[in-house]
Structure 1
Amino acid sequence: MQSPALQHVRFPCLPLPPSRLRNDKFNVRCRRSDYSGPHQPQPQPQQQQQQQRLSDAPPFGYPSASPQLQGGQASRVFVGYSIYKGKAALTIEPRAPEFAPLDSGAFKVSKEGFVLLQFAPAVGTRQYDWNRKQVFSLSVVEIGTLMSLGVKDSCEFFHDPFKGRSDEGKVRKVLKAEPLPDGSGRFFNLSVQNRLLNVDESIYIPISKAELAVLNSAFNFIIPHLLGWYAFANTIKPDDSARTNNSTLQSGADLEWGR
C-alpha cells in the first residue's frame, strides 16, 4: 500500500523588525484590586478599626447608635444652629428637660426643656462680641407660637427672670418677631433692660424664609424631646399592656375608652 504523497506548504517569511525596535525582555505587570483577591495583605490595626467602624455604621438615612459610654457615663452631645448677619449673630440651642425620681423607682418630668436663643452684636465684618451676648429662653408654648405665625403675623414675648423674687422688675426682656417689609422673612428683635447691671441694649437680626424653614423643622423634631415624651416612649414594653389589663385599678383613660 502506497503512502500518500506529502505536499509541501510554503509559508511567507516576514522580515524581522529592526534591532532598535526589538526587546529581548518582555515584562507583563498585572495590577489587582486592593479590595479582592486571595493574597490581600493583612490590614494594620488602625485599618482594622476603621473597617470595623464602617461595617458597624448604619445605612444612610437611619439613626446611629447612642453615644458610647465613657467612664460609665454617656457622652454629652452639644448641638445648635447659628445664623450670621451683618448686624448680629443668633445661635439656637435646645436644653433638655429635667426629671425627678419617684418612690416607685420611676421618673417624672419636673421641668420641661426649652430652646435657648443667644444674640451677639457685630463688632466688625463677620466678627461678633459674644461677651455682650443676650439670651432668651423659649418655652414649648412660645416655640409653638412662633411656628404658627402667618406670613403677616407678629408676636411678642416678655420675660422677667426674677419674677416672684426680691429683684422682680429689675430685669426686663422682650423678644419680638415681625415680618420683613418685603415678605422675605422675619425680624427677631431682643430688647434687654437690666437695672442690676445698668444695661439697656437692643439686638435685631433678619431671618430669611429658608432659615425659618430650618428652624421650624428643628422645632418639630425637638418638641417631643423637650416634653420628655421620648423618654416615655423608650420605656414602653410589649408586656405593659398585659400588666395594665390585669390590674384591678382603672385610670381615667381606662374608664374613658372602656365605655
Structure 2
Amino acid sequence: MSYPQAYPEPAPAARSNRVYTNFAVYKGGAAMNFKVIKPSWEYRADGALAMKDAGVALLEFAPAQQGSGTAPGERRYDWENKTNIALSPAELGDLIDIIGGGGAGKNIYHDPNKGRAGEGTEGKSLSMNPGTRGVKEVYLNLMHKVRGQPDKKVSVSLSAGEMVVLRRLSEYVIPYLLGFDEIFQYDGGADAGPSDGLGADWARPISNDAAPVAMPTSAPF
C-alpha cells in the first residue's frame, strides 16, 4: 500500500523503521494526546527471548494558551508546558471500564521517583469520572505535584464519539503492550527478534494489521 508523502523519501541509509502516530482530543481549556510506547525485550542466558518491561499508553495534556481564541480553528495549546502520565495495560483496563459505564470514577496515582532518590517529592494523579448531567461523557483530570513548585492541573472531557475511539484503541493495543503478538511472530531463529529491533537482520514489513508504534521509547511514569 502506498501513502502520500509530505516530505521527499529519504535515501535508504537515512531511513528509519519508526512510525509516529497519536489520537488527539482538542477542547477549549486543554488538549490531550494518546500515544503508545512499545514493550522492551531482552535475551535470557538460555537464548530465549523475554519481555523486560511491558508497554504503556502515554497520555499527554497541554493547557490552552491564553488569548488563543475559543473557536476550534483559533485555539492554540502550550505543548512546551505539557504534563503526562503513562498507563499500564491494567490501568488502561480501568479507563475502558469507565468509558463503558463501569460505575463510579477511578483514580490512578504515580510517583515517578518510587524506589529511587527523591521518592515522595513528585506525584501524578489521574482521575477518571463519568458525566453527572445525564450526558454520555467522561472527564479526565490530571494533577501533577512537585515539591517546591506550583501544581499543574489540566482537564479534558471526552465526548461520546471520542470515548468510542479511545476505547477501541485501548482494547486493540493491550495485547501488544503485553507482548502476546510476539508469541505468534517470533520463531526463535538466529536472526529473529521482537518488534523493537532486537536481532541481527530481523524486520517485519509494515502493514495495515501491524501493531501501532509511537515514540518516545521510555516511559515517564
TM-score under structure 1 length normalisation: 0.61
SS of residue in 2 equivalent to 1:148: helix
Unaligned runs of 5+ in 1: 1-56, 59-68, 238-259
Given candidates 185, 206, 214, the residue that maps to 2:157 is 206
Q: 1:168 deviation in Å?
A: 0.7
Whether 1:168 aligns to 2:119 is yes
Q: 1:94 deviation in Å?
A: 0.3
Q: 1:104 deviation in Å?
A: 3.4
Whether 1:84 aligns to 2:26 is yes
Tell me the amino acid that sits aligned with residue 165 of structure 2: V
Q: 1:181 deviation in Å?
A: 2.2
Give the alignment of 1:1-259 within 5 angstroms. Answer: 57=1, 70-71=12-13, 75-123=17-65, 124-125=68-69, 126-149=75-98, 150-151=100-101, 152-182=103-133, 183-195=135-147, 198-235=149-186
Whole-Å Cα distance in 1 between the matches of residues 14 and 42 of structure 2?
A: 21
Tell me the amino acid that sits aligned with residue 90 of structure 1: M
TM-score under structure 2 length normalisation: 0.71
Tell me the amino acid that sits aligned with residue 215 of structure 1: L
* 1:249 aligned residue: none
| Higher gyration radius (CA) | 1
Q: 1:70 deviation in Å?
A: 4.3
Structure number with higher relative contact order (C-alpha < 8 Å, ≥ 6 residues apart)? 2
Q: 1:71 deviation in Å?
A: 3.5
Whole-Å Cα distance in 1 between the matches of residues 27 and 168 of structure 2?
A: 21
Q: 1:103 deviation in Å?
A: 2.9
Report if aligned partners of 1:121, 1:130 keep a CA contact under 8 Å in 2.
yes
Question: How many positions carry a matched residue from both structures?
Answer: 171
State which drifts further: 145-154 or 134-143.
145-154
Whole-Å Cα distance in 1 between the matches of residues 131 and 13 of structure 2?
A: 50
Q: 1:105 deviation in Å?
A: 3.0
Task: Return closer, same or farther for 1:72/1:203 CA change in 2, 3 Å cut-off.
Answer: closer
Q: 1:199 deviation in Å?
A: 3.1
Q: 1:130 deviation in Å?
A: 0.7
Tell me the amino acid that sits aligned with residue 227 of structure 1: L
Tell me the amino acid that sits aligned with residue 51 of structure 2: V
Tell me the amino acid that sits aligned with residue 189 of structure 1: N
SS of residue in 1 equivalent to 2:64: strand
Percent identity over the alignment is 31
State which drifts further: 92-101 or 220-229.
220-229
Whole-Å Cα distance in 1 between the matches of residues 27 and 54 of structure 2?
A: 31
Unaligned runs of 5+ in 2: 3-10, 70-74, 189-221
Task: Return closer, same or farther for 1:100/1:122 CA change in 2, 3 Å cut-off.
Answer: same
